[in-house]
């Protein structure tokens, strides 16, 4: 029987995070994602030159709302984000470290831009993998914080986020000036994703340095909706829509560990089995689905979930 094969004319942008010494940075490794010419893992119809990667999340303030199962692997470093980053790199072999500056939020610590910039510099000094840097999500404060942080990390080719449809100008200007990549976020909405990308590119920012954060839901919390949005965007990219042809970043850990099924302890829900493995499975399952939807970068929390997902990526990439 003849196999029906789809022919695609477009290509996902290829983007490199992290600048090596020869590129003017101080990283000892860089990470390249994207470049797909086919829907995820359909190797008979096209290529995926770069395997998806996992970045592990580090938070600038001790996370008070994390369940015990998630705190346990990081118990010795939760109060010290630099050591935490080092542990992700050395012990858990993360390809990238994602630093979330949650403590700069006016309601959750209100750390200053100088403190944030110093932390990022210290982490850049302590770890040698590329960095993803996120603000707290407070738009006004992020515009101050991220501008300073971007400058402090100038030349390191970080991935910084998130720019949104209503708040993209300051961050775009900073990333342009300091040579970083940018994350463009949209609320599970393909039209807004495209609009945000075009607004950023109209500022003269090359679309080849943008990563789409489509925002996702975890297993049981709208995961399939996120999947369908990503699939539609990727199909458009593959027929040549340049304003949707960027790689995807998915905040798997954050979403999975928000689910009550993931964070509920064994004592609260004895009928659900072990709290620890339940959370890990929840995160892994969400990651697997996002990979199938076309995710290029996964931001994960539990090292065991990251390890299992990494094995799965290895199996998926076997042609």
Partner 1 sequence: MLVIGELINGMYKAVGEAIAGRDKKVIQKIAKDEVSAGAGMLDVNTGPYEKNPKDAMKWLVEAIQEVTDVPLAFDSTKPYAIEAGLKLAKKKAMINSTNSEDEKLDILVPMAKKYHASLIGLTMGKSGVPRDKNQRLEHAVKIVTKCQEAGLDISDLYLDPIVLPLNVAQAQGAQVLESIREFKFLCDPSPKTVVGLSNVSQGTRERPLINRIFLVMAITNGLSAAIMDPLDRGLMDAAITAELALNKNIYCDSFLSAYRKK
Least spacing, CB of residue 197 vs partner 1, in Å: 8
Instruction: For residues 174 and 37, give the distance between their C-alpha atoms in angstroms, rounded to a whole number.
Output: 31
Residues 6+ apart with CB under 8 A from 233: 190, 193, 194, 212, 214, 244, 248
What 8-state DSSP symbol labels residue 64? S
For residues 86, 91, 96, 102, the Cα torsion angle rounded to the nearest 10 degrees is -50
User: Looking at beta carbons only, is 243 or 288 nearer to partner 1?
Assistant: 243
User: Looking at beta carbons only, is 118 or 207 nearer to partner 1?
Assistant: 207
User: Looking at beta carbons only, is 96 or 190 nearer to partner 1?
Assistant: 190
What 8-state DSSP symbol labels residue 107? T
Least spacing, CB of residue 211 vs partner 1, in Å: 18
Instruction: For residues 6 and 156, give the distance between their C-alpha atoms in angstroms, rounded to a whole number.
Output: 39
Burial of 114 by CB count in 10 Å (0-12 exposed, 13-18 middle, 19+ buried)? exposed
Given a contact cutoff of 8 angstroms between Cβ atoms, the answer to whether 172 and 207 are in contact is no
Q: Which secondary structure element, helix H or strand E, spans residue 98, and what is its range?
A: strand 96-100
Least spacing, CB of residue 196 vs partner 1, in Å: 9
User: Looking at beta carbons only, is 190 or 288 nearer to partner 1?
Assistant: 190
Least spacing, CB of residue 190 vs partner 1, in Å: 6
User: Looking at beta carbons only, is 19 or 233 nearer to partner 1?
Assistant: 233
Least spacing, CB of residue 202 vs partner 1, in Å: 7
Site residues (CB under 8 A) for partner 1? 190-192, 194-195, 198-199, 201-202, 207, 232-233, 236, 240-244
């Amino acid at each position: 029987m003849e196999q029906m094969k789809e022919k695609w004319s477009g290509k996902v942008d290829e983007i490199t995070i992290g600048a090596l010494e020869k590129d003017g940075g101080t990283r000892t490794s860089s990470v390249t994602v994207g470049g797909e010419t086919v829907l995820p893992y359909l190797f008979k119809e096209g290529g995926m030159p770069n395997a998806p990667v996992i970045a592990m999340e580090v938070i600038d303030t001790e996370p008070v709302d994390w369940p015990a199962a998630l705190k346990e692997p990081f118990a010795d470093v939760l109060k010290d984000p630099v050591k935490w980053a080092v542990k992700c790199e050395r012990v858990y072999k993360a390809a990238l470290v994602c630093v979330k500056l949650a403590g700069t939020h006016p309601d959750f610590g209100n750390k200053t831009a100088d403190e944030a910039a110093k932390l990022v510099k210290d982490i850049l000094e302590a770890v040698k993998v590329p960095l993803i840097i996120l603000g707290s999500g407070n738009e006004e404060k992020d515009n101050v914080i991220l501008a300073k942080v971007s400058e402090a990390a100038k030349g390191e080719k970080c991935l910084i986020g998130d720019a949104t449809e209503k708040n993209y100008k300051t961050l775009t200007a900073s990333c342009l000036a300091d040579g970083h990549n940018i994350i463009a976020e949209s609320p599970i909405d393909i039209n807004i994703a495209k609009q945000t990308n075009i607004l950023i590119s109209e500022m003269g920012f090359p679309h080849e340095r943008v990563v789409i954060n489509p925002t996702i839901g975890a297993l049981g919390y709208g995961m399939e909706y996120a999947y369908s949005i990503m699939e539609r965007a990727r199909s458009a990219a593959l027929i040549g829509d340049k304003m949707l042809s960027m790689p995807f970043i998915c905040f798997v850990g954050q979403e999975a560990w928000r689910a009550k099924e993931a964070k509920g302890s064994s004592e609260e829900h004895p009928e659900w089995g072990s709290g620890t493995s339940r959370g890990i499975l929840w995160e892994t399952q969400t990651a697997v689905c996002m990979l199938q939807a076309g995710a290029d970068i996964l931001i994960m929390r539990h090292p065991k979930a990251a390890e299992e997902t990494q094995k799965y990526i290895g199996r998926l990439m076997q042609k």
